[in-house]
Amino acid sequence: MTPAHSLYEALYVSTLAPDQPLSVVAEIAGHARAKNARLGITGLLVFDGMRFCQQLEGTQKEVLKLTERIRNDPRHTGVEVLHHGLLAERRFHQFSLAFTSVDDTEALARLERMDGEAALAAFEALRSELEL
Count the neighbouring beta carbons within 10 Å of the beta carbon of residue 108. Answer: 23
Provide the CATH number for the domain around residue 37: 3.30.70.100
Burial 25-59 (b: 16+ CB within 10 A, else e): beebeeebeeebeebebbbbbbbbeebbbbbbbbb
pLDDT tens, residue by residue, 105-117: 899 999 999 999 9
Residue 44 scores a pLDDT above 90: yes
pLDDT tens, residue by residue, 47-80: 999 999 999 999 999 999 999 999 999 999 999 9
Measuring CA to CA, which residue among 96, 94, 91 is closest to residue 127? 91
Count the neighbouring beta carbons within 10 Å of the beta carbon of residue 21. Answer: 9
| Domain span including residue 119 | 3-129
* Residues 6+ positions from 76 with CB-CB distance below 8 Å: 14, 15, 16, 17, 52, 70
Task: Tell me the pLDDT of the chain averaged across its residues.
Answer: 91
pTM over 0.85: yes
Residue 1 scores a pLDDT above 60: no
**Measured distance CA(39)–CA(21) in Å, rounded:** 27
Counting the structural domains of the chain, the total is: 1
